[in-house]
């Protein structure tokens, strides 16, 4: 993490974790991922102990802090025994496992539904009542993307569990180690396809003005990128807030913008970004259908996105975070300031 956001996180953590409160032991899934490693750091900053489920202990030792308060539990969430081992002796569970794109070994249904069920069952059997779950902004039961549908079903499992749950729906998360951040950095430097411009998906909208003999135009969705440190802090803060039980919180950033604005800020802030690179919109729908066809003929990896990602790019990723501010003190750093703080490290 960058120095400035890190100090921002630490100061907030102290205010939300009274020194007289006994430290918790928190089981964490997805702890070596982008959000997970930040949640682990925030838990440690708040004085808690961590039990992290990891597939590759060696990788975990590289990306997680060297701290005696971290216990690594080697295993897989779907291997029928690791969830129980993970939550043994825990006071709470933070479940972060999720994927944005399917692979040969990981499906949306497996990671968003089966894995969630495994963790809920393990917590129930071990009498671990506190369960904090990461979902995503814009998940709906009838979404075009299977990502949306399986994430929504995971939420419903949590709601029906009988545990003391809290659900978070973050929007577009950015930060030093984020996949989206790395992709924007490569685009800004002309190091990855499409090399000669920075792309984003657009949606069709009706317009009062004829555009090339039609009354539709292409526009970008609205987004409010949120820094990973702010997301991690909200997860950890809720553990000490009884009012967050049985609540769902949206988490988005303090600056609302469109995709070309976000890409432009990132490109122009990166020390070695190519400011001459144009930022061009691509219509989401035809690209989504091209990805669908590619997948059906066995060429799913042909594009750097899948159909669901293209479909979802048509949707706004902004939200009212007033409840998170009221209950959790959620006060996200601006996109412009946070990128300025970490751009030299990307």
Residue 129's domain comprises 3-177+224-254+319-341
Query: Averaged in consecutive runs of 10 residues, what is the pLDDT profile of the chain (346 residues)?
Result: 36 43 96 97 98 95 96 96 98 97 93 98 98 97 96 98 98 96 96 95 78 71 98 98 98 98 98 97 94 88 89 96 98 97 96
Q: Total domain count for the chain?
A: 2
> pLDDT value at position 299?
84
Residues with Cβ within 8 Å of 104's Cβ and at least 6 positions away in sequence, in order, are none
**Quick one: 60 and 87 in the same domain?**
yes
Inter-CA distances, 180 with 172, 200, 314, 321, Å: 9, 12, 17, 22
Q: What's the predicted TM-score (pTM) here?
A: 0.91
Residue 346 forms part of a structural domain: no
Give the span between the Cα atoms of 267 and 285, in whole angstroms: 26
Please report the DSSP string for 301-323 in residue order. Answer: TSSSS-HHHHHHTTS-B----HH
**Quick one: 125 and 264 in the same domain?**
no
**Quick one: 117 and 165 in the same domain?**
yes
Residue 329 forms part of a structural domain: yes
> pLDDT value at position 207?
64
> pLDDT value at position 16?
42
> pLDDT value at position 214?
56
**Quick one: 128 and 85 in the same domain?**
yes
Give the span between the Cα atoms of 219 and 203, in whole angstroms: 6
Residues with Cβ within 8 Å of 35's Cβ and at least 6 positions away in sequence, in order, are 96, 134, 170, 173, 228, 231, 232
CA dihedral 148, 152, 154, 155 (to 10 degrees): 140
**Quick one: 191 and 173 in the same domain?**
no
> pLDDT value at position 9?
38
**Quick one: 249 and 266 in the same domain?**
no
**Quick one: 20 and 148 in the same domain?**
yes
**Quick one: 291 and 191 in the same domain?**
yes
CATH number at residue 84: 3.40.50.720
**Quick one: 236 and 297 in the same domain?**
no
**Quick one: 238 and 125 in the same domain?**
yes
Inter-CA distances, 295 with 22, 204, 280, Å: 51, 24, 25
State CA 12 to chain mean position distance: 20
**Quick one: 147 and 212 in the same domain?**
no
> pLDDT value at position 210?
57
């Amino acid at each position: 993490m960058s120095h400035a956001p890190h100090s921002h996180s630490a100061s907030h953590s102290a205010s939300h974790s009274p020194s007289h409160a006994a430290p918790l032991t928190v089981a964490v899934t997805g702890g070596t991922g982008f959000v997970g490693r930040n949640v682990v750091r925030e838990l440690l900053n708040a004085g808690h102990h961590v039990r992290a489920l990891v597939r590759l202990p060696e990788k975990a030792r590289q990306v997680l802090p060297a701290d005696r308060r971290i216990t690594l539990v080697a295993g897989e969430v779907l291997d029928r025994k690791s969830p129980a081992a993970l939550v043994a002796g825990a006071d709470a569970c933070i479940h972060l496992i999720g994927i944005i794109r399917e692979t040969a070994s990981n499906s949306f249904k497996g990671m968003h539904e089966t894995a969630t069920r495994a963790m809920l069952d393990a917590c129930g059997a071990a009498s671990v009542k506190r369960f904090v779950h990461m979902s995503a902004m814009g998940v709906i039961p009838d979404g075009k993307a299977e990502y949306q549908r399986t994430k929504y079903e995971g939420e419903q499992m949590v709601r029906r569990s009988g545990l003391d749950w809290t659900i978070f729906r973050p929007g577009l998360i950015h930060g030093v180690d984020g996949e989206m951040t790395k992709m924007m950095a490569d685009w800004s430097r002309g190091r990855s396809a499409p090399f000669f411009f920075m792309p984003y998906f657009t949606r069709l909208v009706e317009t009062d003005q004829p555009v090339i003999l039609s009354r539709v135009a292409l526009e970008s969705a609205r987004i409010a990128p949120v820094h990973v440190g702010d997301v991690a802090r909200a997860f950890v803060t809720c553990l000490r807030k009884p009012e967050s039980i049985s609540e769902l919180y949206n988490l988005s950033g303090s600056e609302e913008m469109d995709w070309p604005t976000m890409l432009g800020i990132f490109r122009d802030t990166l020390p070695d970004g190519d400011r001459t690179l144009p930022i061009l919109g691509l219509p989401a729908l035809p690209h989504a259908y091209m990805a669908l066809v590619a997948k059906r003929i066995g060429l799913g990896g042909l594009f750097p996105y899948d159909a669901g990602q293209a479909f979802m790019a048509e949707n706004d990723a902004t939200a009212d975070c007033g409840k998170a501010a009221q209950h959790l003190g959620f006060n996200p750093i601006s996109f412009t300031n946070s990128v300025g703080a970490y751009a030299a490290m990307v």
